[in-house]
Structure 1
Amino acid sequence: MTTLSQNLLDLSDFAWQRLRQRVEGLTDDEYFWEPFDGCWSVRKTAEGYVADGSRLPPAPAPFTTVAWRITHLVDILQAERTATWFGHTATEEPPPVPGSASEALAALDRAYEIWRGRLAALSQDDLDRAMGPIAGPYGDNDGTSFALHIIDELIHHGAEVGTVRDFYRGVRAEDPFPAALAGDLTPADRPALLAEAAAAQRWDVVRHLADRGFGVNERTSGGMTAAHLAAGTGELDTLRFLIDRGADLSLKDTQYDVDVPGWAEFFEQQEVADYLTARTRAGSGA
């Protein structure tokens, strides 16, 4: 039977992996993007970068940039209270506010490493025990409720970061496929473009991109290959084409950790599942 501690770790890790995939490739322009006047962000000062804020929360709350949201999440995950409220000791020093996208991702990785280590170290007694006076008005709450609160912060701020990236891309939307088909965009420029075409269900484009040397085993930012996506949507003809071009059906996506046949089964694409099963049997001589 799975323990409460392991369930909390699994939930936290799942939320973390989803966020980490959503921020992969983050640029400085996205990091600092302010779509409206009055956004809260992080600002450069003589002492370094500082996050906007107010002792009295404004109402309504201002729109916050990716920079502000990641900085806030870094602070939450490795705050001293994520150790002391459980009765443990915090020894890590708080990092400076990240002044670039690369610094932000490094800080985010480090913050999650710290939080996960603290979460993994909790005993059942830590989770069951009331936190006491150190937690102020939350002193009567047990450690489990606080652990769930931090995981909820990871989930909802992670969703906000992903949404702002979507907004950023939406206002700068461009169709990369014509440029690739014309030879103006190469596999070196955008290695995962064939997988992106599969994610957009542009199956005709998938074939043309393969002809132009785009890799069939590259992954989308969500961690899926074109073969995963073809199997999951029941696109059997395209899946056959990808297999002929060298698609590796044993590769597992990075979100669900499932191979290509597993996607066909999970998404109830019976024709695809039957084809892959028959292909495996034929290959094994059974």
Structure 2
Amino acid sequence: MSMENLRRKRRRSNGETAERRRPSGASARREAPALRRTSSGASPRSGAQSTSPPGRGGPAGAGAAEDPGGAGRRAARLPRAPGGGVRQGGPMSTLTEDLTDLFDHVWGRFRARMAGLGDAEWDWRPTRDAHLGLRRRIAHLTGTLREDRNPVWLGLPPVSPPAEPEPEPESARAALAAAELAYARWRGWLAEVPQEALAEPIGAVAGPYGEATRLSFVLHLADELVHHTAEAALLRDLYAGTH
């Protein structure tokens, strides 16, 4: 066989091998989707990722490259512990527990701001109006938190026997101690209220406010606590700036 014939035979052999390796038209069409789509839903040509967040209509695994840590997902609500800490396991917190946590947070902030309060500062006021001093602010908070109507408006049994009027504190230390007792009393009542009871109306015992829900009453007390403790903190700042 001449060299030219040998070259022709090799070219024919190589062409037949390549033809056998090339998929037929039907086979190529069946394989095309696998070539065009990756597991993340992206086209290998464009490299684009789906932007649909998980759980909102996007395919499983979509957006993983943009949010590898899952930060884009709606955060799961953490279970809460009394006093504002995070519960270690167990059921998710109830509305009653969330409200109690809110009050604990505000009260803890107030307690910290009142640290070191002396008698002279407690008795001081920026004007002649006696209602503008810390003495009256703290007394008002104490009376609001320990009021006998509070458990009744929350749907709990009334205080029996009714609480005796507290004597007027004679020092800053006594005033803050009375406030702590009043807060503990209010917190105990609030913690007893079942979550479903918060949506119920207070009832005739509340007079013109009878159609208001117990939750609205709790939020009213929260507003009282927040703004009066903020006033007390401001008075401390004013005293520090003028003495």
Q: Which bin holds the TM-score, normalised by the shorter protein?
A: 0.5 to 0.7
Task: Work out whether 1:152 is the aligned partner of 2:242.
Answer: no
Give distance in 2, aligned partners of 1:87 and 1:95: 25
Task: Work out whether 1:27 is the aligned partner of 2:98.
Answer: no
The residue aligned with 1:167 is: 238
The residue aligned with 1:72 is: 140
Q: How does 1:81-230 map to 2 (within 5 A)?
A: 81-88=149-156, 89-91=158-160, 92-172=163-243
Give distance in 1, aligned partners of 2:197 and 2:164: 23
The residue aligned with 2:101 is: 10
Structure 1 alignment gaps of length 5 or more? 42-63, 173-286
Residue type of the alignment partner of 1:82: N
Residue type of the alignment partner of 2:176: L
Residue type of the alignment partner of 1:75: G
The residue aligned with 2:130 is: 40
Give distance in 2, aligned partners of 1:15 and 1:40: 25
Contact preservation (8 Å) 2:154, 2:190:
no
Q: What CA deviation, in whole Å up to 9, does each residue of 1:130-182 have, x standing for no partner?
A: 0011111211111111011111111110000000010000112xxxxxxxxxx
- 1:36 Cα shift? 1.4
Give distance in 2, aligned partners of 1:94 and 1:83: 17
Give distance in 2, aligned partners of 1:81 and 1:120: 16
Give distance in 1, aligned partners of 2:217 and 2:167: 25
* Runs of 4+ with deviation above 6 angstroms: none
Contact preservation (8 Å) 2:121, 2:239:
yes
Q: What CA deviation, in whole Å up to 9, does each residue of 1:189-228 have, x standing for no partner?
A: xxxxxxxxxxxxxxxxxxxxxxxxxxxxxxxxxxxxxxxx
Structure 2 alignment gaps of length 5 or more? 1-91
The residue aligned with 2:86 is: none
SS of aligned partner of 1:125 = helix
Give distance in 1, aligned partners of 2:223 and 2:169: 23
- 1:11 Cα shift? 0.4
Give distance in 1, aligned partners of 2:145 and 2:153: 13
Give distance in 1, aligned partners of 2:199 and 2:164: 28
Who wins on radius of gyration, i.e. which is larger?
A: 2
Identity %: 44
